Structure 1
C-alpha cells in the first residue's frame, strides 16, 4: 500500500516556488523535502494608488487582485523590480511593481478610512484645486496637521496620503457609505465596470464585489469565488444577502431569484434573475449552490 503525499498548500495564499526553490518560512514541514530557501515576510503597504497584483512578474500577466491605497501588505521576495506580496486582509498573493509599494507599517497618527465609493484627494481645500490621488471605499489615509477648513460651506480635512504627501479631502469622503445590509451596498455598486481582479468601485470582478460588500459589513471573505463557497454554509433556499455560486463565478442574492453580480457578459455590475431570459437560464443551469454567512 502506498501512502499518498499530503496536498500542497493553496498557492493563492501560501508563497512557495518549487521551480525557484524558495518558500515562506511558515511552510516549513508542509512542503516536500528539498533544499528550500526560506523567506520571511516583512510589513509593507500599498502607496497612493491602487496596486495591481499580477499572476507573474510581468506587466502583461493577468491581474489576480489589487490592493487599495494604504492597504497593509507583506513582502516575501523581490525580483527584477517586482515583489511577491500578500494582501494582509484576505491573505491573497500576487506580483506587484516595487515602485507602488511602501516599506513598513502605516505611520503613527489617526487613521482615516475612506467611506465614499469613489473619491479624490485635492492639493488644497477647494474643489478647483488639482487632484492628487484617486481614492475608493476602504482606502487608508492619515489625519494631517492643522484644522478643518470651511470653504463655501464645504468642510475640508487635511490628510496625509500613504506616502506622506499632504492633501485635502472633503469631509463627506470620510463619511461611511450607508447600507442596511450587504445587498444594499452591492446595489450601490450597480454599473461599476467589470475588471478582472478588481476590488474597488472603480472596477470589480465577481468575487471583488461580494468581498467588498461583505467586508464593509465587517465580514471578511476570501478573495476567490471557490474560496468563498468553501467558507460559507450551504443552504437550499437562498435569502437576501446569501451568495450564489457557479463555476468560476459568484453573485449576491437580493431574494429567492434575483442576483446582483459583476459579470463579463454585461461588462459591469448588473441585476439578473435566475431562470429568466437566455442569460438567466444559463446562470440557473450552471448554479452549483448557495452559501450563507453563519459565523
Structure 2
C-alpha cells in the first residue's frame, strides 16, 4: 500500500487498513520470541516480520542488506530454523527461504524488537478472559434474578475461549479449557455459553508454564495458568493479563507439567481442596471467589496440572469405576440426583479415614466431614451403587 505523501510502502497504519478493507483482521504487534511466532503459526496464522540486517548477517537472503524489509514466517523446520516466504526473491521458485534461527532472531527480535503484522481471516480463537473471573451462562441473563437459573460455570483469568457469536454486550464462546460430554456420554467437547464481552481480551495461544496453586496470589485465582516474566524482586514473577499486570510469589505457583509421585500428588490434591474449607457454596462457581461441588474438584485438580471435565455428571463418566475397597485419597464419590436417578448430581473428594471433602448445598459451604455425618451411616456400611438417602453412591478415579 503506497503512502503517496511520503512515497513509501512502509506505513504500518495504511497497510493494516488496506488488509481490513480486503476482509482480514490486521494489527501491528511486537513479539518477544520465536516461540511466540510459532504459537501463531501453529494456530494457522502467519506472521509478517519486519527485519533489518547488514551484509552477511542473514545468510541465504536474496538481498545483501536492508534497513527495513518484510517477509512471512510460515513455519519452522526440525532444527528450529525459520521457514519464510521472502518477497525479495527474484522469482517464484525462490520465494521459500529457510533462515538460521540465531541470525533471524537478530534481524527481527534484536534489530526490530519483534515488530510484525498479524493478518488473518479469523482471530476468534485468540481470546482469553482478562477479568479475575467471570460467570458463564447458558444464555444471557436479562435480570439479576435469572443468574442462578442460567449459570453454567465460571472462567478464570487467562482462560482461553473461542468466540462464536456477539449479541449486544454478550459473547457466546467455547470454553476451551472446560470440557463437557455430548449426549453420547463418551465424547468430550468444550463447554459453550455466554459471558460479558468486555471480560475478554486478545491473547496469544502460548502454552502455559505455571499455574497458581495458592487460593489467591496477587489478586489472581487458584487455577490460573500463565507464562511468567521475571519479577522485579527476587522470588517473584510478573504475569501479564489483558489489561493489568500481577506480581506473584514463586511459592504460590506450580511449574507445568507437574511431576509428583502418585501418593504425594493425592495429598496435594486434598490440600488444594482444603484451601476452600468454610467458603460459602456458590452454584456454578469455579474460582477463588466461590465453588460448587464439581468446581471444587476442577480447581483442586487444575492447580496440580490436571484438567478434568467441568460438571459432576461429566466427571463421573470420565472416571474409572472402582470398588469401595480400592478407594484412595483424592478419589471421587458420586451421588445421583434425587429427581433424576440416572443423572449424577453431586461429587465429593475422598479424604481418607472415612472422611470426605465437598462443596454442598446441604450446609451451604465447603466442608470436611465423616461419612456418618454426610450419609447417616458409617463408611464401613456403605456399598458401591447402594441407595443412600434416596440417592445412589458410586466411587470413581480420575488419576492413573
The reply to whether TM is greater than 0.5 is: yes
Q: CA contact under 8 A between 2:200 and 2:242: conserved in structure 1?
A: no
C-alpha change, 1:174 and 1:216, in structure 2 (3 Å) is: closer
Maintained 8 Å contact 2:130/2:243: no
Change (3 A) 1:291 1:256: farther
Unaligned runs of 5+ in 1: 1-38, 121-133
* CA 205–167 in structure 1, closer or farther in 2 if over 3 Å, else same: closer
Indicate whether 1:45 and 2:140 are aligned: no
Q: Which runs of 5+ in 2 are unaligned?
A: 1-121, 179-189, 338-344, 378-386
> Tell me, what secondary structure is at the counterpart of 1:42?
coil
In structure 2, the partner of 1:165 is 244
Partner of 1:114: 212
Q: Which residue of structure 2 aligns with residue 99 of structure 1?
A: 198
Structure whose CA Rg is larger: 2
- Kindly report which structure 2 residues correspond to 1:140-289, keeping only aligned pairs within 5 A, or say none: 140-144=225-229, 148-149=232-233, 155-160=235-240, 162-174=241-253, 180-181=265-266, 182-237=269-324, 238-246=327-335, 247=337, 248-255=345-352, 257-274=354-371, 276-277=372-373, 279-281=374-376, 284-285=388-389, 286-289=391-394
- Is this contact kept in 2: 1:44–1:103, CA < 8 A? yes
Shift of 1:157: 3.6
Of structures 1 and 2, the one with the larger relative CO (CA 8 A, separation 6+) is 1
Per the alignment, do residues 187 and 287 of structure 1 end up closer, same or farther by CA in structure 2, a change over 3 Å counting?
Answer: farther
Note closer, same or farther for the CA distance 1:56–1:163 as it changes in structure 2 (3 Å cut): same
How large is the RMSD of aligned CA atoms in angstroms?
3.1
Comparing 79-88 with 40-49, which one deviates more in the overlay?
Answer: 40-49
Give a deviation string over 1:180-202, Cα, whole Å, max 9, x none: 42233222332232111111232
Once the two structures are TM-superposed, the CA of residue 204 in structure 1 deviates from its matched residue by: 0.6
Deviation, 1:119, is 2.4
Paired position in structure 1 for 2:170: 82
User: Displacement, 1:215?
Assistant: 2.5
Q: Per-residue displacement from partner, 1:136-185 (whole Å, max 9, x unpaired)?
A: 112244545x76226xxxx554442x115344334444367997422332
Larger helix share, 1 or 2: 2
Q: Is the 8 A contact 2:357 2:366 kept in 1?
A: yes
Q: Which residue of 2 aligns with 1:136?
A: 221
**C-alpha deviation, 1:104, in angstroms:** 4.3
The match for 1:127 is none
